[in-house]
Chain A
Amino acid sequence: EAGVAQSPRYKIIEKRQSVAFWCNPISGHATLYWYQQILGQGPKLLIQFQNNGVVDDSQLPKDRFSAERLKGVDSTLKIQPAKLEDSAVYLCASKGGRFEQFFGPGTRLTVL
């Protein structure tokens, strides 16, 4: 069974630029999550999708972050414009019928 795929793995941009991350969950997993993990901290949930609907986006900074999950499969997370404090690892996770969330390898974003 293939795991959660994410791309790119690394991204360096300057502040005020825009960036997009892509996630392909495990086949058949209805629930998809985007987390932000700042160095030295635990992952923080940004948004949760159930199929192509948003379950929770209460911690998503909507003035600059957006996310979509068209057709209930792949998902993209966008930041526009980026700030220095957005430097972090962005983790995508998916969950099927059981309780366990499976994490992708993450995208390490550096904002200069």
Chain B
Amino acid sequence: QKEVEQNSGPLSVPEGAIASLNCTYSDRGSQSFFWYRQYSGKSPELIMFIYSNGDKEDGRFTAQLNKASQYVSLLIRDSQPSDSATYLCAVTFMGYKLSFGAGTTVTVRA
């Protein structure tokens, strides 16, 4: 079983719509959860992190965490063409190691 799994995508949404990205993880002891954005040919950049169950909002981004279900998601509201990228879910593993999912590619259609 992979440590971190993401919905495979690609995900295509019209401009202004909500993009919903999902991620599940295997280590029930994981404490920290991150969403990175990676533009084509670029390195990952952190856009959201969450530690506690519930929702965390930052601008147009909302991260949702449910530790009981071992599930974390990212919502992008009012999607813009500049949001077109691959989104990587990352989870701490064994207390310190960051394990990444394979990523979900999002395309926002103008």
Q: Which residues of A line the B interface, CB within 8 A?
A: 33, 40-45, 48, 55-56, 91, 99-101, 103-106
Contact = CB atoms under 8 A, between A and B. Distances in A.
Contacts of B90: 42
Bin chain B's interface residue count: 10 to 19
B98 A45 contact: yes
B8 to A, nearest CB: 10
A55 B97 CA distance: 10
A48 B97 contact: yes
A50 to B, nearest CB: 10
A91 B43 contact: yes
Interface of A is mostly: loop
Interface of B: 4, 32, 42-46, 49, 88, 90, 96-103
A104 B42 CA distance: 9
B49 A43 contact: no
Given A99-B32, A100-B49, A43 B97 contact: no
Given A99-B32, A99-B49, A100-B49, A44 B43 contact: no
Contact of A41 (B42, B43, B97, B102): B102
B36 to A, nearest CB: 8
Given A99-B49, A100-B49, A42 B43 contact: no
A72 B42 CA distance: 26
A45 B100 CA distance: 9
Contacts of B42: 105
Contacts of A45: 97-99
Given A42-B4, A42-B88, A99-B32, A104 B43 contact: yes
